């Protein structure tokens, strides 16, 4: 796909908007449809799109494997960490209202970090699965 | 009704086709139709997930898997009569089960009387989040969402464990 000029230019234009849309879905999830799951998938889709147009090595240079693997674990840890923070501040596990003097503000804070955790894990897993399949396909092509 | 008819047509086409590439693309079509059905049911959050996960990422992953395998499905070795019988019987039991459900969008149905009124009444005040779906998902049902995230994490780890190429040293070649 590397030789198609139109695809390359359009992809370059669209990927910025796709990532921006992912963050819109993430941070606007309080007010409209959306949240960590959807935003994570959209962000991963932007990188997958980049990999399809510019090739897997280019995408791996932008989002290296090490970062993706760290994201997979980091998201779950962040989510669970919000729960532990609630415990340390004197509430139950995953109680958000203790995170701030104002309970409603605490809820906001808790939901924000929890959704961030979901985003990081989902985007990481989707990218990792795509990387693994794509790398495998490249290998078989070389081998054949 | 039109949407459901289109869903049925796509499903039959998926079952009949032997070209797996066409099946994958039709799977994406199915997901987009399903997302439209969910929008019609006012479940925009679920519709968004269906469109992005079902039609977007799944299609790409299926295409990736297809790249590793053959394009055409093998002819089945057995006649499909027994599976057809099982599927028809299961479907009939499920349809029989729906007869006992409350009528569609019945406000007195148990699901609308249990915790839903409390969420609708108190969620905006308690969490300050206008989208009740987000409030329920991340706050009231935080444990469930933590579990879901862990499921996604486990799926990722499973794929890594299955597909990562282990470079074993050849016997005699090293320590």
Q: Parse chain B into domains and list their residue ranges.
A: 1-73, 107-175
| B144 in A contact zone (CB under 8 Å) | no
How far, CA to CA in Å, does A19 sit from each of A23, A48, A65, A103, B58? 6, 12, 19, 32, 19
Partner residue opposite B153 with nearest CB, options A110, A125, A133: A125
Beta-bridge partner residues of B19 = B72
Range from A97-101, B2-6, B7-11, B94-98 carrying the lowest mean pLDDT: A97-101
For residue range B121-145, what is the model confidence (pLDDT) as tens digits?
Answer: 877 777 777 777 777 877 788 888 8
- pLDDT tens-digit series, residues B76-90: 777 778 888 999 999
Quickly name the fold that domain B1-73 has: 1.20.120
- Picking from B67, B133, B153, the nearest residue to A76 by CB comes out as B153
- Residue A87: the pLDDT is 85
- Please give the structure tokens belonging to residue B144: 């469930």
pLDDT digits (tens, 9 = 90+) for A12-61: 899 999 999 999 988 887 777 778 888 999 999 999 999 988 888 999 99
Distance in angstroms (rounded) separating the CA atoms of residues A34 and B45: 6
- Give B112: exposed, middle or buried? Use CB within 10 Å, 0-12, 13-18, 19+: middle
Which chain A residue has the Cα nearest residue B53?
A: A41
For residues B76 and B54, what is the distance between their CA atoms, to the nearest angstrom?
27
- Chain B environment of A80 (Cβ under 8 Å): 146
Q: Is B87 exposed, middle or buried (0-12, 13-18, 19+ CB in 10 A)?
A: exposed
Q: Which of B50, B125, B133, B138 to mutate to probe the A interface, most A CBs <10 Å?
A: B138
Is the minimum CB–CB distance between B67 and chain A shorter than 8 Å?
yes
Indicate if ipTM > 0.90: no
Min distance A61 CA to chain B CA atoms (Å): 19
Q: Which residues on A lie below 8 Å from B142 (Cβ)?
A: 83, 94, 96, 110, 114
CB atoms within 10 A of CB A125: 30
Residue B173 in this model has a pLDDT that exceeds 50:
no
Q: Is B169 helix (H, G, I), strand (E, B) or coil?
A: coil
> How many other C-beta atoms can be found within 10 angstroms of the C-beta atom of residue A12?
12
Whether residue B108 contacts residue B117, with contact meaning beta carbons closer than 8 Å, is answered with no
d(CA A83, CA A115): 13
d(CA B26, CA B32) in angstroms, rounded, equals: 10
For chain A, how many residues are written?
144
Q: Is residue B60 within 8 Å of A130, Cβ to Cβ?
A: yes
Q: Does B126 touch chain A (CB under 8 A)?
A: yes
Q: Would an 8 Å CB–CB cutoff place B132 in contact with chain A?
A: no
What global pTM score does this model have? 0.81
Q: Is the pLDDT of residue B97 over 80?
A: yes
Locate the chain B residue with the closest alpha carbon to A33: B45
Q: B97 vs A104, which has greater pLDDT?
A: B97
Measure the CA–CA gap between A119 and B156, rounded to whole angstroms: 14
């Amino acid at each position: 796909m590397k030789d198609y000029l139109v695809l390359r230019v359009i992809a370059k234009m669209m990927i910025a908007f796709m990532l921006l849309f992912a963050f819109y879905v993430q941070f606007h999830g309080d007010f409209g449809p959306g949240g960590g799951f959807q935003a994570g998938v959209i962000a991963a889709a932007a990188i997958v799109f980049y990999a399809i147009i510019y090739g897997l090595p280019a995408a791996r240079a932008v989002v290296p494997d090490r970062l993706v693997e760290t994201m997979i674990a980091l998201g779950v840890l962040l989510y669970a960490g919000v729960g532990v923070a609630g415990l340390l501040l004197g509430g139950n596990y995953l109680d958000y209202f203790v995170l701030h003097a104002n309970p409603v503000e605490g809820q906001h804070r808790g939901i924000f970090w929890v959704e961030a955790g979901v985003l990081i894990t989902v985007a990481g897993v989707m990218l990792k699965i795509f990387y693994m399949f794509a790398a495998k396909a490249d290998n078989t092509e070389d081998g054949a | 009704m039109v949407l459901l008819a289109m869903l049925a047509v796509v499903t039959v086409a998926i079952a009949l086709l032997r070209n797996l590439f066409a099946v994958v693309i039709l799977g994406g079509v199915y997901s987009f139709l399903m997302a439209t059905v969910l929008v019609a049911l006012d479940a925009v959050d679920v519709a968004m997930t269906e469109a992005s996960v079902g039609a977007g990422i799944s299609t790409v992953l299926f295409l990736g898997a297809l790249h590793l395998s053959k394009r055409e499905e093998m002819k089945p070795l057995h006649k499909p009569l027994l599976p057809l019988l099982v599927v028809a019987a299961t479907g009939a039991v499920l349809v029989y089960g729906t007869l006992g459900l409350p009528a569609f969008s019945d406000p007195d149905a148990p699901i609308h009387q249990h915790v839903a009124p409390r969420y609708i009444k108190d969620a905006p005040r308690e969490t300050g989040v206008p989208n009740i779906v987000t409030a329920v998902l991340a706050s009231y049902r935080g444990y469930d969402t933590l579990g879901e995230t862990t499921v996604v994490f486990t799926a990722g780890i499973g794929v890594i464990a299955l597909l990562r190429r282990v470079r074993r040293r050849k016997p005699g070649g090293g320590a």
